[in-house]
């Protein structure tokens, strides 16, 4: 278990797992400003600006990133790789939803949605309903911030302020979810924050709620070598001090390094789904976003799994 986690912990947008949503939104905002952007998220910068986490806003500062590169080229390469990864990941799951919509699916569930703005920025067909599930304070912040800027969702949006460790299937049904209709599920940036048994329960619940023809897409958990994690942590801490960034949250402390975690594709294939997979490395190379990071094991990278309910 990550040293910053407990079985009953909770968070807002500026703390613990909630702050990682700001990190991801900052990456989307940075990507959106590129001339060759893979995705466009006009809401990401707004959501980052009001979150109050401080450090993640620096991702949007080109001058800061240039100074960081001069101080430690390897750390700069890691930051560039992380930003590219987030862009490629977002692009992959955006395409997944486009394919699901083209297949006629009009019911969507985004698990641990964080600052995901797909309900607002994707071209959903008429009649599409999107359910977002996350911690109450996270959803409250997103809802209030986007409303304050006049944003309105494209799809019919239901936000469910509930912890995934609680009875979220009941909350989903109570909000109008129809388990007789095909659903497109997304588990992006989620599994690493769950222990193995909770991951199994999550997929059990999803399977029970999924009508034939439903789809799911998942980001799996990479295996990170402890020695490399500590080495990079020491270097980030040194640079944080050098550039006056203050205490930088160690995201690894929030994750569960669980050797008993099930292989997602194998689990789905044995529970009524048919899966396909692509490694994040291959997808990054396909989109010309691969950055070579020194001494990185392939096991550290995630796989994107998509499956169809039989």
Residue 159 lies in a domain: yes
Residue 193 lies in a domain: yes
Mind listing the pLDDT tens digit for each residue in 26-68? 999 999 999 999 999 999 999 998 886 656 666 556 676 677 7
Mind listing the pLDDT tens digit for each residue in 164-173? 989 999 999 9
Distances (CA, A) of 296 to 76, 162, 231, 232: 15, 36, 12, 11
Contact 240, 246 (CB under 8 A): yes
Query: Hey, what are 263's tokens?
Result: 């292989």
Contact 248, 56 (CB under 8 A): no
Q: Is 125 left (phi over 0), alpha (psi -120 to 50) or beta?
A: beta
CB count within 10 Å of CB 151 equals 18
Distance of CA 63 to the CA centre of its chain: 27
The SS3 of residue 309 is strand
The confidence band for 82, taking pLDDT boundaries of 50, 70 and 90, is confident
- pLDDT reported for residue 1: 43
CA contacts within 13 A on the Cβ side of 4: 15
Proportion of the chain above pLDDT 70, given as a percent: 82
Residue 8 lies in a domain: no
Distance of CA 178 to the CA centre of its chain: 25
The confidence band for 293, taking pLDDT boundaries of 50, 70 and 90, is confident
The residue that leads in pLDDT, 77 or 294, is: 77
Hey, which of 1-5, 63-67, 68-72, 147-151 has the most confident mean pLDDT? 147-151
Distances (CA, A) of 181 to 173, 300, 306: 12, 36, 18
Q: What is the CATH number of the domain that holds 61?
A: 3.40.50.150
Contact 24, 86 (CB under 8 A): yes
**129-158: average pLDDT:** 97
- pLDDT reported for residue 7: 72
How many domains is the chain partitioned into structurally? 1
- pLDDT reported for residue 143: 97
Residue 45 lies in a domain: yes
Q: Report the C-alpha gap between 140 and 144 in whole angstroms.
A: 6
Residue 200 lies in a domain: yes
Q: In this model, does residue 277 exceed pLDDT 60?
A: yes
Question: What is the domain extent for residue 22?
Answer: 17-284+300-309
Residue 2 lies in a domain: no
The pTM of the full predicted model, rounded to 2 decimals, is 0.90
Residue 164 lies in a domain: yes
- pLDDT reported for residue 2: 47
Residue 23 lies in a domain: yes
The confidence band for 72, taking pLDDT boundaries of 50, 70 and 90, is confident
Phi/psi for 51 (5° steps) reads -80, -25
Lowest mean pLDDT among 23-27, 120-124, 149-153, 254-258: 254-258
DSSP 34-90: STT-S---TTHHHHHHTS--SGGGGGG-HHHHHHHHHH-HHHHHHHHHHHHHHHHHH
């Amino acid at each position: 278990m990550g040293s910053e986690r407990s079985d009953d912990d909770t968070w807002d947008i500026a703390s613990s797992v909630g702050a990682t949503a700001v990190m991801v939104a900052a990456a989307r905002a940075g990507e959106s400003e590129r001339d060759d952007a893979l995705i466009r998220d006009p809401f990401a910068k707004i959501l980052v600006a009001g979150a109050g986490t401080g450090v993640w806003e620096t991702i949007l500062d080109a001058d800061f990133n240039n100074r960081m590169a001069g101080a430690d080229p390897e750390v700069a390469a890691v930051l560039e790789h992380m930003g590219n990864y987030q862009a490629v990941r977002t692009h992959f799951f955006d395409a997944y939803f486009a394919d699901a919509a083209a297949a006629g699916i009009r019911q969507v569930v985004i698990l641990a949605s964080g600052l995901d703005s797909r309900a607002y920025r994707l071209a959903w067909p008429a009649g599409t309903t999107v359910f977002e599930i996350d911690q109450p304070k996270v959803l409250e912040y997103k809802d209030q911030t986007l409303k304050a800027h006049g944003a309105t969702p494209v799809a019919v949006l239901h936000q469910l302020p509930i912890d995934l460790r609680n009875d979220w299937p009941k909350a989903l049904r109570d909000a109008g979810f129809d388990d007789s209709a095909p659903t497109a599920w997304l588990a992006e940036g989620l599994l690493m924050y769950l222990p193995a048994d909770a991951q199994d329960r999550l997929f059990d619940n999803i399977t029970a709620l999924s009508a034939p023809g439903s789809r799911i897409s998942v980001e799996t958990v990479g295996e990170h070598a402890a020695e490399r994690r500590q080495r990079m942590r020491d270097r980030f801490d040194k640079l944080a001090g050098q550039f006056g960034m203050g205490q930088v949250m160690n995201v690894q402390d929030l994750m569960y390094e669980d050797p008993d975690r099930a292989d997602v594709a194998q689990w789905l294939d044995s529970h009524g789904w048919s899966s396909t997979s692509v490694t994040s490395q291959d997808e990054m190379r396909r989109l010309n976003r691969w950055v070579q990071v020194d001494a990185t094991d392939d096991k550290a990278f995630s796989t994107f799994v998509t499956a169809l309910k039989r």
